[in-house]
Amino acid sequence: MNDNQNEVKVTKRLNRLISSSGVHELRKVEKGNILKNKRFRGTVQDWYGKKAPWPMIESDLILVFEDHSKAIDDNLIAAIEIKFFKQSQNLDKQLRQAYREFGQPLRNLMYGFDSVALWHVFDETIDERKIRNYTTIVGDTITKLNLPVVYLATKISEDRFKIFQPWALDYNDMNYILRSLKGLFENKRNPLSQSEIKEYRDALKVTLAIP
């Protein structure tokens, strides 16, 4: 089984855990293949007379939370990019490659998402010192450059997660992860002005069937 297949399986597992969570503020969870969706692209074309640029990469998951602050409306729409790492001979190569690509979620800000996240998921067999060293580098890069992306790094064991970034915590369940993500999303929003992202955000809402 190759690494991409593992990542697909982990993403499906996370989707299942999120969908069955008890977080009432989570309104919707969707697979991330939305920007290539005919409904999204058709809405941009029909409503605003323009052609949405073809995305180089799609996010893995989309979460819609209830936004009590109503920064724009009742919804907080977030895109999540997931990278899964397992113990293998080429683990160091995987980590270097992921570091070079960790800006991928930033592209989703151009499509009207309210917030974006990079979630590094590590298999439970990987040495925690390696995880801690690597995730500290990524976290410091995002923090010191003030990049508008939420960074979450966890080790997965069964259906529980040990958190390494943005803080260090022992194992917690998916409900804790989702509540934490919501707070992180609220505090790290899309820096583009509402006028710049309105058209794509409107198309996102139509495609996601949210008011």
pLDDT digit string, tens, across residues 139-180:
999 999 999 999 999 999 988 999 999 999 999 999 999 999
Contact 79, 105 (CB under 8 A): yes
Dist. CA 143–CA 118, nearest whole Å: 13
Q: What are phi and psi of 145, to 5 degrees?
A: -90, 0
Fill in the amino acid letter for 185. F
pLDDT at residue 143, as a whole number? 95
Contact 165, 9 (CB under 8 A): no
Is 41 a residue whose pLDDT tops 60? yes
pLDDT at residue 3, as a whole number? 56
**Which residues on adjacent β-strands are paired with residue 107?**
none
C-alpha gyration radius of the chain: 17
* Three-state DSSP string of the chain: CCHHHHHHHHHHHHHHHHHCCCCCCEEEEEECCCCCCHHHHHHHHHHHCCCCCCCCCCCCEEEEEECCCCCCCCEEEEEEEEEEECCCCCHHHHHHHHHHCCCHHHHHHHHCCCEEEEEEEEECCCCHHHHHHHHHHHHHHHHHCCCCCEEEEEEEECCEEEEEECCCEEEECHHHHHHHHHHHHHHCCCCCCHHHHHHHHHHHHHHHCCC
Angle at which helices 174-187 and 3-19 pack, to 10 degrees? 90
pLDDT digit string, tens, across residues 14-30:
999 999 998 999 999 99
pLDDT at residue 176, as a whole number? 96
pLDDT digit string, tens, across residues 74-117:
999 999 999 999 998 889 998 998 888 877 889 999 999 999 99
pLDDT at residue 60, as a whole number? 96
Is 68 a residue whose pLDDT tops 80? yes
Dist. CA 109–CA 117, nearest whole Å: 10
Is 131 a residue whose pLDDT tops 70? yes
pLDDT at residue 1, as a whole number? 38
Name the band, by pLDDT with cuts 50, 70 and 90, for residue 208: very high
Q: What percent of the chain has pLDDT over 90?
A: 83
Within 10 Å of residue 108's Cβ, how many Cβ atoms? 28
